[in-house]
Amino acid sequence: MTSLIVYLLEASVILIVLYALYLLLLRKETFFGLNRFFLLTIPVFSFLFPLLSIDVSSSISSAINKPIEGLSEVRFFYYDAFESWSASVKDHAAEPASEEALVQEQTSFHSLLVTIALAIYGIGFVVVIFRLIGLYVWVHRLMSRSEKKVIDGVRVIKVSHSTAPFSFLNFVFVYQDVVSSEDFGQILAHEKVHIRERHSVDLLFVQLSAAILWFNPVVWQLIKSLKTTHEYIADKKTIDQGYSLVAYQTLLLRQLVSTNSYGLIHHFNLSFIKKRITMMNVKKSGWIGKVKVVLTILAVLGFNLVIVQCNSKLDEQMLLETEGPATDISQEIDIPVLPESEFRFKGDPSTTVTVALNEDEISIDGETVEIANIASVLQQESEEHDVIIFRVDRTQPMSLVQKVQQEVRKANRLKVLYLGQTQNGQRVEVPIKLPPHPENNSETKVPAIDDEYAKKNNLSLFKVEMGENTGLDNQQKVYDFVQDQVAQQKNNYVVSARFSDDNTYGEYLTNVHHLQKAFYQLYEERTQAMYGEGYWDVIEKKDTDEEYAEMYSSLKKEAPMAISIAED
C-alpha cells in the first residue's frame, strides 16, 4: 500500500515539473503540434519514470552524480518512512511488553492513516471515472434524441435546444437553426479539424490520467492547456483553408455564449476566445522559439535521467536493506572487494546459515561460537539449512578460515556461498562445494589431486598458485588452458589452485572468484557460438525448459568446472 502512495506522489512531482517547463518555455510559442505532443507525453513520463531503474552512474560526471546521490538518500528516507508505517509488530517481540504495546499502537495508527489515505484516493478515483461515464451517457442520449445528417462527409447531430457547437469523436453537435446559417461552413470546418486530428482521443487519455492523479490540481490545468492547444490547432488549420481571418474572429465573438466546457468535448466557443484571437495574430515563432524547444528537450532528458538514476540507487539500497540477517552484507565486516559477477543465489534465504569471521571471532547467525562447537551447532539445524554463507573479513588469515571450513565439512554442510562486494558496494556471490570430510566418508577416501594421481588417471592437471594480485593473471591462464582442452575434445582435467595459511581471506576469495570467471567467460562464448544464447539466460531457463536444460548439460559435460583447491 505504501509503495502505491509513494509512486503516486512521485508521479505527481514529475508531472508538476514537466508542466512547469511547458508554462515557462513552450506555452506562448506557435509550435502547436509540438505543444500538443509535449502535453500528452507529460502523463506518460510521469507514470513511467518512477518505475524505471538503470544504473548509468559510470557515464556521468561526479558533479552530476553527487546531487543524484543526495536526492536518492532523500527518496530512500521517505520510502523507509512510509514502509515503517506498515511494519510488522513481530519485529519488536524482543522488546519489553510496555514498549511493545507502544510500538503496536503506533504501528496501528500509521496503518490506519495509510488505509484512510488510500480510501480517500479510491473514492476520488471512482468519482472521476463515474463523471466521465456520466458525460459519455449524456452525449449518447443527446445523439439518440436528435436528428442526424451527414454533411460534407461529417455526421452532424442537430440539437433541438440552443447550445454552442461542439465535437466528440466523429460527431459534430450543433443547434439545428445554425445548420442553415451562413456561419455553418466555418463552424463545420473548425470541428472537422478536431475530428481529423483525433483530439477527442487526446482528451480521453488525459482524463483517464487525471482520474489516477485527481488529487493533483496541476493535472486539471494540463487538461485546460491541452484543450486550448487543440483550439489553436483547429483555428490555424481553418484559417489556412482560405477563410477570412477577420470574418472568422468575428464569428468567434458572435458565437460566444455562457457554456461550460465539458471534459471530453470541444466547444467551438470556449471562454478563452481572447487568447485564441491573440494567438491568431501572433507572429510565427522564430529561432528563439526553436531554442526554447531545444532547452525543453534537454531539460526533460536531464530531469528524467536524474529520476532513473535515483531509482537505480534506491533499488540497490533497498535490496541491501531487505535481504535479511541471513544474507545481509554487514558494514562491521570488511568483506573482500571483487569484480562484478552475474551469478545470483536462487535458493530460499530461509534455508541458509551465515557463518561470520571477524578479528578471529566466529559467529553463526549472529551468535558467537567456539570453533570446536561449529559442527555440533550446524548439525542441530534442519537438513534443509544446507547452504552456508561465509561472511569473512578480508584480512582474516586463511589458517582460521580453513579450520572453520573443516568443521563445516564435519557437519556435512558442503554447499558454501562466499560473500564479497564490488567497489560500489554491490553484492557479489561466489559459490563453491567443499569436499566431504574424511570422517563422514570413511569408505571412500577423498584423493589428493597431485601429479601422481593425475598420471595414474590420465588426468590433465593445471596448477595455479593463489597469492596477492594473481587473480587476473590466473584467470587468463585457466581460460587458455580449458579452451585448449576443449579444442582437443578433452574433459578429463582439473585446475588445482593452491593457497597457504599465510594468505589472507581476501587473496583467497579473489583468486577463487577469478578462476570461476575464467569458466564463465568460456561458457558465455561457447553458448553464444553454439546456441545464439547468453550463458546466464540458459542458467535462468534450464530449470523450467528441457531444451535449455540440455544446453546446460551439454556445455558442462564438454567443459566441466573442475577446480580443486588445496592448501599447504
Confidence band, pLDDT 50/70/90 cuts, at residue 83: very low
What does the pLDDT average to over 298-321? 58
Confidence band, pLDDT 50/70/90 cuts, at residue 68: very low
List the beta bridge partners of residue 429. 419
Confidence band, pLDDT 50/70/90 cuts, at residue 183: confident
Q: Judge if 167 and 46 occupy the same domain.
A: yes
Q: Judge if 430 and 462 occupy the same domain.
A: no
Confidence band, pLDDT 50/70/90 cuts, at residue 208: very high
Q: Judge if 436 and 540 occupy the same domain.
A: no
The residue among 7 and 401 whose pLDDT is bigger is 401
Question: Of 389, 418, 440, which residue is a domain's last?
Answer: 440
Q: Judge if 163 and 250 occupy the same domain.
A: yes
Question: Of 405, 421, 440, which residue is a domain's last?
Answer: 440
What does the pLDDT average to over 179-194? 86
The residue among 237 and 252 whose pLDDT is bigger is 237
Q: Can you read off the three cell numbers belonging to residue 318? A: 533497498
On whether residue 95 sits in a domain, the answer given is yes
Quick check: 227 and 203 in contact, CB under 8 A? yes
Q: Judge if 139 and 260 occupy the same domain.
A: yes
- Is the model's pLDDT at 72 over the cut of 80? no
Q: Is 292 helix (H, G, I), strand (E, B) or coil?
A: helix
Q: Judge if 434 and 521 occupy the same domain.
A: no
Lowest mean pLDDT among 292-301, 435-444, 497-506: 435-444
Confidence band, pLDDT 50/70/90 cuts, at residue 541: confident
On whether residue 506 sits in a domain, the answer given is yes
Q: Is 406 left (phi over 0), alpha (psi -120 to 50) or beta?
A: alpha
pLDDT in the model for residue 257: 47
What does the pLDDT average to over 332-354? 86
pLDDT in the model for residue 423: 85
- Is the model's pLDDT at 99 over the cut of 50? no
Lowest mean pLDDT among 109-118, 139-148, 284-293, 424-433: 284-293
On whether residue 41 sits in a domain, the answer given is yes
- Is the model's pLDDT at 93 over the cut of 60? no
Q: Judge if 80 and 126 occupy the same domain.
A: yes
On whether residue 325 sits in a domain, the answer given is no
Measured distance CA(477)–CA(408) in Å, rounded: 31
Sign of CA dihedral 455, 456, 460, 465: negative
For 502-511, what is each residue's pLDDT tens digit?
Answer: 889 999 999 9
pLDDT in the model for residue 307: 64
pLDDT in the model for residue 255: 60
Q: Which residue has the cell 538518500?
A: 73
Measured distance CA(164)–CA(78) in Å, rounded: 49
Confidence band, pLDDT 50/70/90 cuts, at residue 161: confident
List the beta bridge partners of residue 387. 352, 415
> Global pTM?
0.47
Q: How many CB atoms lie within 10 A of CB 110?
A: 17
End-to-end, the C-alpha distance of the chain in Å comes to 56
pLDDT in the model for residue 285: 67
List the beta bridge partners of residue 498. 465, 566
- Is the model's pLDDT at 88 over the cut of 60? no
Q: Is 414 helix (H, G, I), strand (E, B) or coil?
A: coil
Q: Judge if 405 and 528 occupy the same domain.
A: no
Q: Can you read off the three cell numbers belonging to residue 458? A: 590420465
On whether residue 307 sits in a domain, the answer given is no
Q: Judge if 418 and 482 occupy the same domain.
A: no
Confidence band, pLDDT 50/70/90 cuts, at residue 178: confident
Average pLDDT, rounded, for the chain: 78
Lowest mean pLDDT among 15-19, 46-50, 532-536: 46-50
Question: Of 440, 465, 480, which residue is a domain's last?
Answer: 440
pLDDT in the model for residue 52: 64
What does the pLDDT average to over 482-495? 90
On whether residue 223 sits in a domain, the answer given is yes
On whether residue 317 sits in a domain, the answer given is no
What CATH number did the domain enclosing 422 receive? 3.30.420
Q: Judge if 410 and 548 occupy the same domain.
A: no
Quick check: 307 and 56 in contact, CB under 8 A? no
pLDDT in the model for residue 105: 52
pLDDT in the model for residue 515: 92
Pairing outcome for strands 427-433 and 367-368: unpaired
Lowest mean pLDDT among 97-111, 179-193, 523-537: 97-111
Counted domains in the chain: 3
- Is the model's pLDDT at 521 over the cut of 50? yes
What does the pLDDT average to over 136-150? 88
What does the pLDDT average to over 500-526? 91
Q: Judge if 142 and 243 occupy the same domain.
A: yes
- Is the model's pLDDT at 117 over the cut of 70? yes
Quick check: 214 and 189 in contact, CB under 8 A? no
Measured distance CA(499)–CA(514) in Å, rounded: 14
Lowest mean pLDDT among 178-182, 266-270, 454-458, 529-533: 266-270
% of the chain surpassing 70 pLDDT? 77
Give the structural domain span for 512: 451-567
DSSP string, 108-169: HHHHHHHHHHHHHHHHHHHHHHHHHHHHHHHHHHHHHHSEEEEETTEEEEEESS----EEET
- Is the model's pLDDT at 195 over the cut of 70? yes
Q: Judge if 463 and 431 occupy the same domain.
A: no
What does the pLDDT average to over 397-415? 90
Lowest mean pLDDT among 320-324, 363-367, 369-373: 320-324
What does the pLDDT average to over 255-268? 50
The residue among 286 and 123 whose pLDDT is bigger is 123
On whether residue 136 sits in a domain, the answer given is yes
